């Protein structure tokens, strides 16, 4: 497995553990719809939370949240729509971004809206 995939997996593990500790329920990890992927789908009370996890060794090349571009947001929104339709879920939803840099975590709740 490529080194960046290993790092990304560790970041997603940290993010999932963090969310569970905050009382979220993890519904899915690495859910796919065609070529689109959602890193973590979670539930927080009556809300479905779609989480994009960005993991880096350092911020030398910029902050990880800067890589969540409008194009990436559009793909996440499309994948989330497919997830909600497939599961017949009509609950409120939001999009969060969790950044993991060298083991340190930042959580941006409601990072963007459709």
The tens digit of pLDDT for each residue in 95-105 reads 999 999 988 89
pLDDT for the residue numbered 20: 98
**3-class secondary-structure state, position 95:** strand
End-to-end CA distance of the chain: 33
pLDDT score at 114: 87
Which residues contact residue 69 at a Cβ distance below 8 angstroms, ignoring those fewer than 6 apart?
none
Q: What is the pLDDT of residue 4?
A: 52
pLDDT digits (tens, 9 = 90+) for 2-52: 555 556 678 899 999 999 999 999 999 999 988 889 999 999 999 999 999
pLDDT score at 52: 96
Predicted confidence (pLDDT) per residue in 39-82, tens digit: 999 999 999 999 999 988 777 677 878 879 999 999 999 999 99
Domains in the chain (CATH in brackets) are 3-112 (3.40.1350.10)
Distance CA 72, CA 10 (A): 21
Going by DSSP bridges, is the β-strand pair 25-33/47-56 parallel, antiparallel, or unpaired? unpaired
Closest by CA to 60, choosing from 99, 101, 97, 9, is 101
Strand partners, 107: 98
- Whole-number pLDDT of residue 3: 54
Residue 68's contacts (CB-CB under 8 Å, 6 or more residues apart) are 52, 54, 97, 111, 112
- pTM comes to 0.90
């Amino acid at each position: 497995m490529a080194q960046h995939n290993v790092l990304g997996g560790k970041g997603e593990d940290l993010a999932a553990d963090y969310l569970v500790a905050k009382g979220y329920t993890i519904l899915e990890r690495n859910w796919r719809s065609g070529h689109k992927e959602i890193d973590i789908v979670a539930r927080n009370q009556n809300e479905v939370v779609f989480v994009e996890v960005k993991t880096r060794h350092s911020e030398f090349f910029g902050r990880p949240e800067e890589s969540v571009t409008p194009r990436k947001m559009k793909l996440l929104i499309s994948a989330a729509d497919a997830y909600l339709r497939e599961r017949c879920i009509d609950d409120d939803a939001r999009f969060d971004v969790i950044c993991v840099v060298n083991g340190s975590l930042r959580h941006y709740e409601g990072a963007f809206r459709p």
